[in-house]
Structure 1
Amino acid sequence: MGLLLTAVHVLIGLLWSAVPIGCARVLQGWLRKPQARRLLDRITGTVIGVFGMRLAFSN
């Protein structure tokens, strides 16, 4: 049973990793543009800032 659970865990991990890799390959041309980098940096910075504010204001 443990071996089966391990195999399922590995399979789900492989599928979970394959989805972003496939998306990155499809969007490869757009992701290389400076405007895409700026947009992704802004989104990442906003998410980190919001998590930091939530942490600072939580009990």
Structure 2
Amino acid sequence: MLDGQTQNKEVLQLMKKEKWTFPAEIELEYKIPEGSDAVAEVAKCVQYCKEALA
């Protein structure tokens, strides 16, 4: 997952550190690669978030 201009990893880590309870969301805003689908791409994003928070 590419972060684009947003520092997703840092924001997620800050949310965890500060124990903020508002939800984060995943927006699928890039072209889905051939051979994939939206569900698979969101799953990749979820995995990225889990790794960022580990």
Task: Normalising by structure 2, report the TM-score.
Answer: 0.33
Larger Rg: 1
Indicate the structure with greater helix content.
1
Higher-RCO chain (CA-CA 8 Å, sequence separation at least 6): 2
Task: Normalising by structure 1, report the TM-score.
Answer: 0.30
